Amino acid sequence: MILVKIMPQPTLYILDDDQEYANLLVEFASGSGWNAIAEYDPVVFLEKDLSDVHVLVLDLNMPELDGIEVIRAIAEKKYKITLVLVSGFDARVLHSAQQLAEAHHIKVAASLTKPIPISEFVKVLASIELEEPSKDTPVEKEKFSAIELEHAIKNDELILYFQPQVNIQTGKLAGVEALVRWLHPEKGLIFPDQFINVAEKNNLIGALTERVLYLAVKQNKKWRDEGFNTIISVNISADDIISLNLPEKLKTLTEQYDVEARNIVIELTESAVMGELTAQLDVLNRLRMKGFSLSIDDFGTGYSSLSHLYQAPFTELKIDQIFIMRMLEDTEAMVIVKICIMLGQMLGMHIVAEGVETKEIYDILHGMNCDIAQGYYLSRPIPADELFEWAKLY
Ligand code: C2E
Ligand code: CA
Ligand code: CA
């Protein structure tokens, strides 16, 4: 006997406190082949097991619990549900709810303003690509143990890749960003998103950063000896900037290799600059006083960006790549990029646009007087010797 596996109808929920409206949408969705269910109460909805749900048509404005809270709850429970956002509010609310969902890695198929034209609703439903729901998709990335990572740091398994930064106005190389990789003896090249958090959680980030700084300074010296004098940016984590002896350690290291302090830029993300501000300002100021440059990374995505700029002595501002990548399609991203450039200029900082993937975006940034570009359009991060060859041609 042959068993035929029948594909069950995909499940779609409509969550809207307007019962009549919800029922109407259910009718159309059922007509398009969905197992469509209406729910009017978000509290009841969130008590259900939603692991079989493929799509949620979510009304953002409900009295008891609003759509934003529902998005957060879905993210927390790691349900893999595709959202269709609906709101009677203006487009800005929809836009920012969509950002929130995407920041939580939740797919948003469409954002629609009420009243939804039914033809559009049906079109959106037809365009949704179905994924297996939460149950059988392990989304967890491969994790490494602290012991393995500690071993890697000690045994020279960490290496640096370098990504060029080009001065948009002159077309010349402005510097390179060092990005750490783990050359695992069995698993090959491993990217930082798989082990930086392991280091941060297990008190290994200090050792990792020390190793990265050592490799960067050594590389800077080697290149200079080969006639290539460049600036290297290095990433540090939140815990590093409360380590009070970081400035002295770095100074000793650069002196040891006869590398000028102005050849080293320390990048830290906005979200790293939070919490223990007193200790951080102490370290940041002393780094500056010793001649190192300071860059605020992923600018625009963290909290209270402006007050950080006001308090800490940053010399460079890196606009987060999310805004750069979206600026052609998304007017709000474009506005943010413009404001960041203006802000940086007025504060006398270098402005770096990260995530420049096309010539079109590069040219627009040129027109906007942005200083520096970094991204796949110019080059991906590459090993030191390849970077050296790349720089020769540039
Ligand atoms: P980041 O500092 O924001 O680095 C930029 C990331 O964007 C890099 O990923 C780079 O490969 C990627 N990227 C550059 N241009 C483009 C582009 O045009 N398009 C796209 N889609 N991506 C682009 P990578 O190397 O995987 O690094 C990820 C993150 O890991 C870094 O983000 C940084 O936060 C962290 N990281 C890397 N190296 C270190 C390190 O030595 N120490 C610490 N603490 N963190 C590090
Ligand atoms: Ca960075
Ligand atoms: Ca960045």
Quick one: 210 and 155 in the same domain?
Answer: yes
175 Cα to the center of ligand 2, angstroms: 13
**pLDDT (tens digit per residue) in 344-354:** 999 899 999 99
178 Cα to the center of ligand 1, angstroms: 9
Quick one: 353 and 234 in the same domain?
Answer: yes
Q: What is the pLDDT of residue 321?
A: 94
Is residue 5, in this structure, part of any structural domain at all? no
295 Cα to the center of ligand 1, angstroms: 14
CA atoms within 13 A on the CB side of 222: 10
Domain end among 127, 162, 197 = 127
390 Cα to the center of ligand 1, angstroms: 19
From the CA of 356, the nearest ligand is 1
Q: What is the pLDDT of residue 300?
A: 84
Q: Which residues sit with their C-beta closer than 6 Å to ligand 1?
A: 163, 179-180, 191-193, 196, 212, 235-237, 297-298, 321, 355-357, 374-376, 381
Q: What is the pLDDT of residue 158?
A: 98
Domain with 25, as residue range(s), is 11-127
Total domain count, the chain: 2
**pLDDT (tens digit per residue) in 34-64:** 999 999 999 999 999 999 999 999 999 888 8
Is residue 132, in this structure, part of any structural domain at all? no
What's the CA dihedral at 329, 331, 334, 338 to 10 degrees? Answer: 160
Is residue 141, in this structure, part of any structural domain at all? no
Whole-model pTM: value is 0.75
Q: What is the pLDDT of residue 141?
A: 55
Q: What share of the chain is helix, strand, coil (3-state, %, to 5)?
A: 45, 20, 35
Domain end among 127, 159, 193 = 127
Q: The tokens of 94 are what?
A: 């929809």
From residue 46, alpha-carbon distances to 29, 79, 81, 258 in Å are 21, 11, 13, 61
Quick one: 159 and 87 in the same domain?
Answer: no
Concatenated DSSP letters of 271-324: GGS-S-HHHHHHHHHHHHHTT-EEEEEEETSSSSHHHHHHHS--SEEEE-HHHH
Q: The tokens of 141 are what?
A: 């990335």
Across 70-153, the runs of DSSP E, i.e. the strands, are: 82-87, 108-113
- How far, in Å, CA of 74 to CA of 192, rounded? 27
Domain end among 81, 97, 127 = 127
From the CA of 374, the nearest ligand is 1
CATH number, domain containing residue 336: 3.20.20.450
Quick one: 104 and 175 in the same domain?
Answer: no
Quick one: 207 and 95 in the same domain?
Answer: no
Is residue 274, in this structure, part of any structural domain at all? yes
Residue nearest to atom 19 of ligand 1 (CA): 355
CATH number, domain containing residue 49: 3.40.50.2300
**Rounded to 5 degrees, what are φ and ψ at 28?**
-70, -40
The parts of the chain modelled with pLDDT lower than 50 are 1-5, 136-140
Q: What is the pLDDT of residue 250?
A: 97
